[in-house]
Amino acid sequence: MIESFHAYLQNKGLKENSIKGYLQSVKGYLKWFDESKDVSFQKLHRENVLEYISFLKTVKKLNPKTINTKLSGLIKFNQFLMEEYRVQTKVVIGKKDFERVQQQYASLSTVEYHDVEKFRQVILDNNHMRYYALATIFAYAGLRLSEALDLHLHDVHLVTREITVREGKGDKTRIVYMSEKVRTALQSWLKERKNNGVDSEYLFPSNRNRRLDRTVVNTAFQRYAKEVGKKITPHVLRHFFCSNAIAKGLSIHEVANQAGHSNIHTTLLYTNPTKTEMLDKMDQL
Catalytic residue positions? 144, 169, 235, 238, 261, 270
Residues 6+ apart with CB under 8 A from 123: 131, 132, 135, 224
68 burial class (0-12, 13-18, 19+ CB within 10 angstroms)? Answer: middle
Alpha carbons 163 and 23: distance in angstroms, whole number: 31
**DSSP letter assigned to residue 175:** E
H-only helix segments in the chain: 2-11, 16-37, 46-58, 64-84, 113-125, 129-141, 145-150, 180-195, 214-228, 234-247, 252-259, 264-268, 275-283
Residues 6+ apart with CB under 8 A from 273: 106, 107, 281
Alpha carbons 225 and 116: distance in angstroms, whole number: 10
253 burial class (0-12, 13-18, 19+ CB within 10 angstroms)? Answer: exposed
Alpha carbons 197 and 200: distance in angstroms, whole number: 10
Q: What angle do CA 163, 164, 168 make, to 5 degrees?
A: 130
Residue 186 near residue 148, CB atoms below 8 Å: no
